[in-house]
Amino acid sequence: MTPAAAAPSAIRRVRPPGHEGLADLLIENGRIAALLPAGTAPPELPTLADGEGRLMLLPALVESHIHFDKTLWGAPWRPNSSGPTRNHRIANEQAVLKDFPLSLAERAGPLIEHCVARGSLHFRSHVDVQPAFGIARIEEMLALRQRYAHLVDMQLVAFPQAGLITAPGTADLMEHALALGLEVVGGIDPSGIDHNPVRHLEAVFDLAVRFGRGIDIHLHDGGELGRFEIERIADMTEAHGLAGRVVISHAYALGAFAPAELYPLADRLARAGISIMSCAPSHFMAPPLAMLRSRGVNVCSGSDNVRDTWSPMGNGDMLDRARLIAMRFGWSKDEQLADAFDIVTHGGAKALGLGERYGIAPGCDADLLLLPAESIAHAVVSCPLERTVIRRGRVVARDGVLIADAALA
Amino acid sequence: MTPAAAAPSAIRRVRPPGHEGLADLLIENGRIAALLPAGTAPPELPTLADGEGRLMLLPALVESHIHFDKTLWGAPWRPNSSGPTRNHRIANEQAVLKDFPLSLAERAGPLIEHCVARGSLHFRSHVDVQPAFGIARIEEMLALRQRYAHLVDMQLVAFPQAGLITAPGTADLMEHALALGLEVVGGIDPSGIDHNPVRHLEAVFDLAVRFGRGIDIHLHDGGELGRFEIERIADMTEAHGLAGRVVISHAYALGAFAPAELYPLADRLARAGISIMSCAPSHFMAPPLAMLRSRGVNVCSGSDNVRDTWSPMGNGDMLDRARLIAMRFGWSKDEQLADAFDIVTHGGAKALGLGERYGIAPGCDADLLLLPAESIAHAVVSCPLERTVIRRGRVVARDGVLIADAALA
């Protein structure tokens, strides 16, 4: 559902990155019609926003990995009650959410609105597909997406959190979820959770091929085990012609090897058209994002768990995530800080297949973020909350707060 | 310079940590006079702040390691232009600051005000003592401290950035700086910068003993080299009876060893009364702060470089720093998040020797932070900017903005 086209309008006196001086933007039918020198947009057009030379014009942020269905965002503070292993966390989540007083929409709805107010308009959310939650969770998430379709673009991943092989009934539920409209086939730790890497990956790719979908696999399996799995994912991606449609999320294993050892694997990922999603965690080994990018691998990022039973952290702010990425790798040069920003914008757009309509150029959707900064580098380190968010040519949030009408269709 | 005592007043309906239910606070002569059940403070007293049951009452944050003299905070964005090594950065800073258009006060003054607005009222700032900058930098920093004495408590460290032995003239300048009123003797990488660990440390401790001062040593030297130096610092601290007055800043070496190897060294630090200052960097090995605390070592933290020629990062927000600490170590339990908060409050107060007047109890200075959160854990993960900062019983900042009068004496 695309919102009805807004009347033509102009954004005045803003600084697009890589653009000499100030610019005006013409917006027509929810898209960027033209980038003009500042002061040359027709004065009779309504002014959508005026940067007064002080605001940068940026593309909306891309949240490439979040779990909206898990969040407790709308609920009172709840101390983390999970045991230490992934299986503890899976069982703990099942126990906590079983009788939780707030519905998925009451928890995730406010978080979606918060994310929008921070500047993200494109999302990929994983949705648990496990018999413990049944089809209800999937239907609730689809309904929530529908409710916010005017405000955000959201891809949903059918995510077999508890295992695709080991949790009985999951394979059938995955098919059901994909049939209902979840776009992407998820996977998780083929060895660590499902204890059978080849069978797990074959099942994931089989679903992707049968339903004509992309793939996004959670891969926490580390070291040589993770590397083995990444190589098999590359094999299968090439065998099935899925270049550009496969994301490996987390991929901690890529942080375990010296650069020289990783080059061949990075080159393989680049050739296979596989994107790497990393939150750049500071308490784990993170994939070396600069090296991966330098070898041609597309990299995107996400908030992952946001205040849920898995983690109290996460804030849904992808500009803060760019700052965390830069800190994680000690990036301090303007070009490096711009790389961090590229990961949370164009890198995400590529991983999610947003295509030519994403960006700041004539023809692109007018999905934009305006904020006070002197450069992209400055935006990343300062993370100002004074943000104006524009969706298809309408202002939907100002100063970190959603405009009341925007929450409604 | 302490501000003139404000009239008695009350803070109403706030939640102090570890306190059952809501409380009122009586403030007299800039100190906490009493903690009372909510609703029982005399209604005729002026209301300094009303938490309406929604705000936590916390002690002001403690910034234990910052370089105010280096910051470019007040200046237009300047891309990082430094080479890769510490010696490149020293030379680059000298070159950039030589003819910089803004004075130290014009750069650091706005940063001090920003830090106060984020809730820090107690600071330890290192001040470069190197012949390239001469006595002027020290005098400018002393003048700046004087200007803000009504607003913040600030200790200054005489910091031989370019080396105490290798940079000719530094030792004399150190004596001069201490005689002028800098409270703490600084040191830096006895091997990495000064290439003579024993002679460097003897010089530092000699100054501390002669001037009757504490010590704060930047120790980036890693691995076995750093461990050797930490052991010598412990030797000298014990030999000179300086327990409680020595801080080792950064101490990356402590991140290089397995816990069992570190226990004896941690126990030694605890016995010697040496505090560890860590920014919990995510791109270096960080000292294992939970383990150190569990062995009785006091831990504090700081912003370190804030938008200066060394690093574009840093934001002077010690609540954000607590969040970064928790993320760095994967702390997710409420007790762990409270540990992170303790490091940026009571840990700092102990390292800086603030004594009994720091805290939330009758008799303590009314240096306080109010913010909307349900618990300390919630405050750490959410880092709200809606903060009310109280200095000696006066409100000096609201919602992240210094109250105009507060900047003036």
pLDDT in tens, A280-312: 999 999 999 999 999 999 999 999 999 999 999
HEC string of B320-382 equals HHHHHHHHHCCCCCHHHHHHHHHHCCHHHHHHCCCHHHCCCCCCCECCEEEEECCCHHHHHHH
Instruction: From residue B270, give the alpha-carbon distance in Å to each of A196, B243, B258, B264.
Output: 48, 9, 18, 10
Nearest CB partner across the interface for B333, out of A80, A324, A382? A80
In contact, B115 and B396? CB cutoff 8 Å = no
Return the residue of A nearest to B400 by Cα: A385
For residue B367, give the nearest of B14, B7, B2, B32 by alpha carbon.
Answer: B32
End-to-end CA gap in chain A = 10
B165 touches A: beta carbon within 8 Å = no
What is the C-alpha to C-alpha distance for residues B159 and B164, in angstroms, rounded to an integer?
Answer: 9
A284 reaches B (C-beta below 8 A): yes
Q: How many CB pairs under 8 A join A and B?
A: 78
User: Closest residue of A to B378, CA-based?
Assistant: A77
Q: Could you tell me if A17 lies within 8 Å of chain B, comparing CB atoms? A: no
Min Cα separation A282/chain B (Å):
5
Residue reference for tokens 């929604």: B54
Q: Do B312 and A337 touch (CB under 8 A)?
A: yes
Beta strands in A230-296 (DSSP E): 246-250, 274-277
The first and second tokens of residue B58, run together, are 């916390």
Q: Cβ–Cβ of A326/B313 closer than 8 Å?
A: yes
> Rounded to a whole number, what is the distance in Å from the CA of A212 to chain B's nearest CA?
38
Residue-wise pLDDT for A80-129, tens only, equals: 999 988 889 999 999 999 889 999 999 999 999 999 999 999 999 999 99
Instruction: Give the best residue of B54, B72, B80, B220 to mutate against chain A (max A CB count within 10 A).
Output: B80
Cβ <8 Å between B312 and A332: yes
**Mutate which of B77, B93, B385, B399 to disrupt the A interface (most A C-beta within 10 Å)?**
B77
Q: Chain B residues with CB inside 8 Å of A304's CB?
A: none
Please indicate if any CB of chain B lies within 8 Å of the CB of A382.
Answer: yes
Report yes or no: A84 at the B interface, CB cutoff 8 Å.
no
The residues, any chain, with a CB within 8 Å of residue B373's CB and separated by 6 or more, are: A77, B56, B379, B382, B384
CA A151 to chain B, closest CA, distance in angstroms equals 24
Contacts of A282 in chain B (CB under 8 A): 282, 324, 327-328
Question: Is B328 part of the contact surface with chain A (CB cutoff 8 Å)?
Answer: yes
**From CA B23, how far away is CA B15, in angstroms rounded?**
6
Interface of B with A in 175-194 (CB under 8 A): none
Q: Give contacts of B15 with chain A, Cβ < 8 Å.
A: none
Q: What is the block-wise mean pLDDT of chain B (409 residues), using blocks of 10 residues?
A: 69 92 96 96 96 97 98 95 90 93 97 98 97 94 97 98 93 97 97 95 98 98 96 98 98 94 96 98 95 98 97 97 98 97 98 97 97 97 97 94 76
Alpha-carbon gap: B252 to the closest alpha carbon of chain A (Å) = 15
A282 at B interface, C-beta within 8 A: yes
- B79 has a chain A CB within 8 A of its CB: yes
B136 CA: distance to closest CA in chain A (Å): 29
Q: Does A283 touch chain B (CB under 8 A)?
A: yes
* Stretch A167-193: mean pLDDT: 96
pLDDT attached to residue A5: 57
Max distance between CA atoms of chain A, in angstroms, equals: 65
A57 touches B at CB < 8 Å? no
A328 contacts in chain B (CB < 8 Å): 282-283
Residue A388: how many CA atoms within 13 Å on its side-chain side? 19
**Which candidate from B77, B330, B377 shows the least CB-CB separation from A77?**
B377
CA distance B231 to chain A (A): 27
What DSSP character marks residue B286? P
CB–CB contact A283 B80 (8 Å): no
Burial class of B159 by CB neighbour count within 10 A (0 to 12, 13 to 18, 19+)? buried
Under an 8 A CB cutoff, do B332 and A80 touch? yes
Determine the residue of chain A that is closest to B375 in CA distance. A77
- Cβ contacts (< 8 Å) between B381 and chain A: which residues? 307, 312-313, 315
Query: How many whole angstroms separate alpha carbon B124 and alpha carbon B133?
Result: 20
Spatial contact of A149 and A91, defined as CB atoms under 8 Å apart: no
CA A373 to chain centroid, in Å, comes to 23
Do residue B381 and residue A326 have CB atoms under 8 angstroms apart? Answer: no
CA distances from B129 to A221, B37, B105, B135, B288 (A): 49, 50, 17, 8, 30
Strands B120-128 and B153-159: parallel
With an 8 Å Cβ cutoff, are B315 and A283 in contact? no
Residue of B nearest to A76 (CA): B374
Q: Could you tell me the domains of chain A?
A: 9-59+359-407 (2.30.40.10), 61-357 (3.20.20.140)
Task: Determine the Cα–Cα distance for residues B350 and B358; give it in Å rounded to an integer.
Answer: 9
Nearest CB partner across the interface for A329, out of B82, B283, B315: B283
CA angle (B360, B366, B367) in 5-degree steps:
90
B333 lies within 8 A of chain A by CB: yes
pLDDT confidence tier of residue A1, bands split at 50, 70 and 90: very low
Q: Is some CB atom of chain A closer than 8 A to the CB atom of B386?
A: no
The per-residue pLDDT for range A222-244, each reduced to its tens digit, is 999 999 999 999 999 999 999 99
Q: Could you give the C-alpha distances from A262 to A267, A289, B144, in angstroms and in order?
A: 8, 12, 51
Closest CA of chain A from B55, distance in Å: 14
Residue with tokens 């993200």, as numbered in its chain: A120
For B144-290, list the strands marked E by DSSP: 153-159, 184-188, 214-219, 246-250, 274-277
φ/ψ bin of B313: left (φ > 0), alpha (ψ from -120 to 50), beta (otherwise):
beta
Using the beta-carbon criterion (under 8 Å), do B282 and A282 form an inter-chain contact?
yes
This complex has an ipTM of 0.96
User: Would you say the C-alpha torsion B273, B278, B284, B286 has a positive or negative sign?
Assistant: positive
Is B80's CB within 8 Å of A334's CB?
A: yes
Cα separation, B325 vs B333, whole angstroms? 13
Determine the pLDDT at residue A19.
85
CB contact under 8 A, A381 and B312: yes
pLDDT range class, residue A2, cuts 50, 70, 90 = very low
Cα–Cα distance, B56 to A154 (Å, whole number): 36
Mean pLDDT, all residues of chain A:
95
Mean pLDDT, residues A157-175 taken together: 95
- What single letter denotes the amino acid at residue B375? S
